Amino acid sequence: MTDDLLGRHRSVLPDWLALYYEEPLEITHGEGRHVWDAHGNRYLDFFGGILTTMTAHALPEITKAVSEQAGRIIHSSTLYLNRPMVELAERIAQLSGIPDARVFFTTSGTEANDTALLLATTYRRSNTILAMRNSYHGRSFSSVGITGNRGWSPTSLSPLQTLYVHGGVRTRGPFAALSDADFIAACVEDLRDLLGHTRAPAALIAEPIQGVGGFTAPPDGLYAAFREVLDEHGILWIADEVQTGWGRTGEHFWGWQAHGQNGPPDLMTFAKGIGNGMSIGGVVARSEIMNCLDSNSISTFGGTQITMAAGLANLNYLVEHDLQGNARRVGGLLIERLRAAAAQVPAVREVRGRGLMIGIEVTKPGTDEADPQAAAAVLEAAREGGLLIGKGGGHNTSCLRVAPPLSLNVAEAEEGAAILENALRSIR
């Protein structure tokens, strides 16, 4: 690494700030679905800065919008009227499906979930939260307190009482052997039993597909079934769409729509991909929930003009170019290609996901025991082959995460799948 950037990093940044690879790389620039490192090596990017470069690197439509906005004004705070913020809020409110929706912009998914928790607990006058096992909702004090993944929850201290519910992981746990219908019924019964032993919670927060948890998901309809129980108690439903939103799953624009038989969530959080690399997060909620706070509040950087300009340009591009449809088509080809390759590798327990959100779980052959060392070896081998992927999972980060920009084409999907196949074969 040039000028010992790794040494400098280690001398001034926290030890717990994770870096990928035995020899961490510095990404210097990108174009389309490719990035380059400081040594001039080119990589096919199948992780997008943790599902954040959602559309493409250096997309001209977005860079032009950012440049033009920067030439006018970059920032003024929410104390002043902000045309790009209003325009993007109008678009998101309409797309959310939430009636009489209000939108509050933040700078990250962590801050978005933190805000949703504030709104829900204030509205319901309860500090009890239902969350899913194996979940991840951010890095702040409150969001860490509801995260159901031990690897990403460094403290048990929390301003919230959190109760964890079954259902986020289909192929592990006490209900794994059941049919989808029986799995849903068992999880609903577990929820009912849990509610019988506690004061009414403020909300259930759930990722439609668990991101950091390894792209795990329940059967479609689970959260609709949960919603019936929640409504009986007046409990709100918060859909964490930080990783699943904007068409990434291919089949739906929002992940909650796979569970939307009883209507949209009461609150929805978003971030990551909407900015295509710019810092945008936010909450959408029904007006009476959003307006329940009885004290003043602002956001210094949430909704700032330059990020809103990027978000508008990005949203226009992905809708006009039907990137949701592309995620469905190209993602379907990619997941089938990866399943065929993984069938020849005993260490692969499961290939799961939908659209361009695919997880490959690696275990010790013939068992359900996680093998994080093997997963790390595949990550390294893929990089050597010219492909960047991610990893995660609730079982010692033994799941490889594949989430390319939504503009991925068939040739690039085939190229990436071939590299991944060779990387997986290296652990046999």
The pLDDT tens digits of the residues spanning 285-307 come to 999 999 999 998 999 999 999 99
Q: Do 106 and 18 have their domain in common?
A: no
Q: Do 134 and 55 have their domain in common?
A: no
* The pLDDT of residue 148: 84
- Cβ burial 285-319 (10 Å sphere, 16+ → b, else e): bbeebbebeeeeeebeebbbbbbbbbbbbbbebbe
Structure tokens at 34: 């490719």
Q: Do 122 and 28 have their domain in common?
A: no
For residue 1, pLDDT over 60 is answered with: no
Q: Tell me which residue range forms the domain holding 253.
A: 64-320
What confidence tens digit (pLDDT) does each residue in 78-100 have? 999 999 999 999 999 999 999 99
What confidence tens digit (pLDDT) does each residue in 356-410 have? 999 999 999 989 999 999 999 999 999 999 999 999 987 677 999 999 999 999 9
Q: Do 306 and 331 have their domain in common?
A: no
Q: d(Cα 80, Cα 85) in Å, to the nearest integer?
A: 11
For residue 2, pLDDT over 70 is answered with: no
- Whether the CB-CB separation of 371 and 397 falls below 8 Å is answered with no
Mean pLDDT score of the chain: 95
What is the percent of the chain where pLDDT is above 90? 90
Q: Do 225 and 302 have their domain in common?
A: yes
* The pLDDT of residue 428: 64
DSSP structure class, residue 210? B
Q: Do 283 and 342 have their domain in common?
A: no
pTM, full prediction: 0.95
Structure tokens at 123: 């509205």
Q: What angle do CA 200, 201, 203 make, to 5 degrees?
A: 135
DSSP structure class, residue 252? -
* The pLDDT of residue 171: 93
CA distances from 410 to 54, 247, 342, 394 (A): 17, 18, 19, 31
Q: Do 234 and 187 have their domain in common?
A: yes
Q: Do 54 and 187 have their domain in common?
A: no
For residue 262, pLDDT over 90 is answered with: no
Categorize the per-residue pLDDT at 104 as very low, low, confident or very high, splitting at 50, 70 and 90: very high
The CATH number of the domain holding residue 411 is 3.90.1150.10
Number of domains within the chain:
2
What confidence tens digit (pLDDT) does each residue in 52-72 have? 999 999 999 999 999 999 999
Q: Of 280, 299, 320, at which residue does a domain stop?
A: 320
- Give the E-state strand segments of 12-72 in sequence order: 27-31, 34-37, 42-45
What is the percent of the chain where pLDDT is above 70? 99
Categorize the per-residue pLDDT at 51 as very low, low, confident or very high, splitting at 50, 70 and 90: very high
Consecutive H or E run containing 284: strand 281-286
For residue 48, pLDDT over 80 is answered with: yes
Roughly how many angstroms between the first and final C-alpha of the chain, as a whole number? 31
Q: Do 76 and 202 have their domain in common?
A: yes
- Whether the CB-CB separation of 175 and 222 falls below 8 Å is answered with no
State residue 219 phi and psi, 5-degree precision: -60, 145
Q: d(Cα 211, Cα 136) in Å, to the nearest integer?
A: 7
